[in-house]
Amino acid sequence: MIAKQRNVPLAVLKLRVLARRLPENHPKMAFIINDLKKREAGYKGECSIDYPLGFLEPESHFIFHDVRLQDQARFFQLDTLIMTKKFGLIIEVKNITGMLFFDHHFNQLIRTKDGVESAFPDPLIQVSRQEEQLKNWFLEHGFPAFPILSLIVISNPQTIIRTSPENRKLHFKVIHRDALPAKIKQIEHAMKESILDDKVLKKAVRVINKQHIDADFSILERYSLTEEDLIKGVICGNCNSHRLLRRHSTWFCNQCGLSSKEAHIHALRDYFYLIGPTITNRQLRDFFNLSSASAATRILQSLNLTSSGVNKGRAYSLFFDD
């Protein structure tokens, strides 16, 4: 069963908003778009294993997506974790096209595509570290010593996987997406003993979900940007103009003629992902290019947001769950 659903990564959500709120000629736009494409490809690759995982018996396999746990002072994040009575399985998904060569001498992954070679960090090192961190995490939370295994899943079926002849064990760790159900069954047959009973396994599921901590970060700080770099205003969802005007509780677009009573909700969502989870009347007016304090108050009060502080110091809490 799915013990933790997969959501669109926060980095993808923030980058999508940032790309829409930066001028097209901004010097960092190309870099940001490139990062967005990479992260969206990674997310697409992660989603691609949902179908093969659907062949697993739901009563005996607990599947967690995008788990972030703390091992002492360090956090570690897993694309997918499968928990059974016999073992835990970490799945690291790589959505990389071309020909992949796993170089075990220099611990790097070399991709050849269109005659160009590119080097990537060795995912074998990554999953080995994750195995140790997860083992430590279970012991720290009072669970018995428990086999933790890992697989690297190449999500694109056309990607070619190669290595040197002496690296004979690579196929135990690196597989294509469609081989995943058979590989998990192979692991299950090799593991004769159940380490966890039903009660302990269900406790582990509860504790993993309870201890999961979403990662958050300032997208502006990550790319050394400020609010002054952003396009302000309420953006038209039809023509992408950022010159919507508000009259009598309705937003109007002078460019395409669209009218909307909810365009400000999308602008608040942009503010939430770019700047932060609280907003004052003054901050709303600045971000919306709105001159009227009373109009800003009406917008904020119409959404029934929780708030703290009084008068000009009142801050309203925003929350968007995509």
Q: What is the pLDDT along the chain (322 residues), one digit of tens a residue?
A: 999 999 999 999 999 999 999 999 999 999 999 999 999 999 999 999 999 999 999 999 999 999 999 988 899 999 999 999 999 999 999 999 999 999 999 999 999 999 999 999 999 999 999 999 999 999 999 999 999 999 999 999 999 999 999 988 999 999 999 999 999 999 999 998 999 999 999 999 999 999 999 999 999 999 999 999 999 999 988 888 767 888 888 999 888 888 898 899 999 999 999 999 999 999 999 999 999 999 999 999 999 999 999 888 899 999 887 6
Element (H, E) at 65: strand 62-71
CB 29 within 8 A of CB 18: no
Question: At 300, which amino acid appears?
Answer: L
User: 26 to each of 234, 272, 281, how far by Cα in Å?
Assistant: 20, 22, 28
What does R_g of the chain's alpha carbons equal in angstroms? 24
pLDDT for 322: 64
Cα–Cα dist 43/267, whole Å: 25
Rounded to the nearest 5°, which phi and psi values hold at 170? -60, -35
Tokens of 248: 């009598």
* Long-range CB contact pairs, 134-141, < 8 A, 24+: 134/69, 134/71, 134/76, 134/78, 134/81, 134/88, 134/90, 136/71, 136/72, 137/69, 137/70, 137/71, 138/88, 138/204, 140/71, 140/72, 141/207, 141/211
Beta bridge partners of 154: 94, 176
Please report which residue ranges of the chain form alpha helices under DSSP H.
10-21, 29-47, 50-53, 123-140, 170-173, 180-190, 198-211, 219-222, 263-274, 281-288, 293-302
What's the distance, CA 98 to chain centroid? Answer: 24
Measured from the Cβ of residue 91, the count of other Cβ atoms closer than 10 Å reads: 24
DSSP 23: -
pLDDT at position 224:
98
pLDDT at site 102: 96
pLDDT value at residue 219 = 98
For residues 35 and 273, what is the distance between their CA atoms, to the nearest angstrom?
17
What pLDDT does 140 receive? 95
Which residue is associated with the tokens 């990389």? 96
Q: Which residue has the tokens 């430590």?
A: 136
Looking at the whole model, is its pTM more than 0.85? yes
Nearest to 161 by CA among 148, 146, 172: 172
| C-beta contacts of 54-62 below 8 A and 24+ residues apart | 55/181, 56/82, 56/181, 56/184, 58/1, 59/1, 60/84, 60/85, 61/1, 61/184, 62/1, 62/3, 62/201, 62/205
Q: Which amino acid is at 143?
A: F
pLDDT (0 to 100) of residue 277: 95
Question: Residue 294 pairs with which residues in a beta bridge?
Answer: none
Q: Token pair of 155, please?
A: 């999500």
